[in-house]
A = this chain, B = another copy of it.
Amino acid sequence: MPAKTDRKDLLDIGQNCAALRTRMAARGVTRAYDAALRPLGIKITQFTLLVTAKYEADLSIGDMADVLAMERSTLTRNLKLLADMGLIEMRKGSAPRTKVPVITRKGDALLTKAIPIWRDAQARLTAHMGKARWKEARTLLTDLSLVPG
């Protein structure tokens, strides 16, 4: 008989699809952190880019994209927004042809204000999950981000 769509399949997908479940989690978590940061005028994605730029010196766009499991072109545009806001500056990297985001004084000042807010949001999340379960989730999320494509 032909492979017609079965209700059991549909239920299986709705309950178990890794992409659906992971994206649902990302939506929920992102909304929580974005709401917390809204008074500062940045989103959690931008916050993490600022943090990465400040933590790692001479990290090119391409290498940063690898670290963040993000497409280079996506990162290029996201960094451009931060540059337009004056929070980072794009400089030439030491490796040939590379560009490197460098946090500005304005970006640094914003980061100083943002970190306590991030800490609160993160604390609320770990309280919601339970510390041990969040730790386990962290490990599993890392594995999920490395799924072969």
Contact = CB atoms under 8 A, between A and B. Distances in A.
Interface of A: 2-5, 7, 9-11, 13-14, 16-33, 35, 44-45, 47-48, 51-52, 54-55, 68-70, 108, 111-112, 115-116, 118, 121-122, 124-126, 128-129, 133-134, 136-138, 140-149
Interface of A is mostly: helix
Contact of A149 (B17, B35, B126, B149): B35
Contact of A16 (B4, B33, B122): B122
Contact of A3 (B28, B112, B134): B112
Tallying the copies of this chain within the complex gives: 2
B143 A140 contact: no
Contact of A55 (B11, B19, B22): B11
Given A14-B55, A19-B30, A25 B141 contact: yes
Contact of A14 (B25, B29, B52, B116): B52
Contacts of A147: 28-29, 32, 124-125, 128-129
Contacts of A17: 33, 44, 48, 51, 118, 122
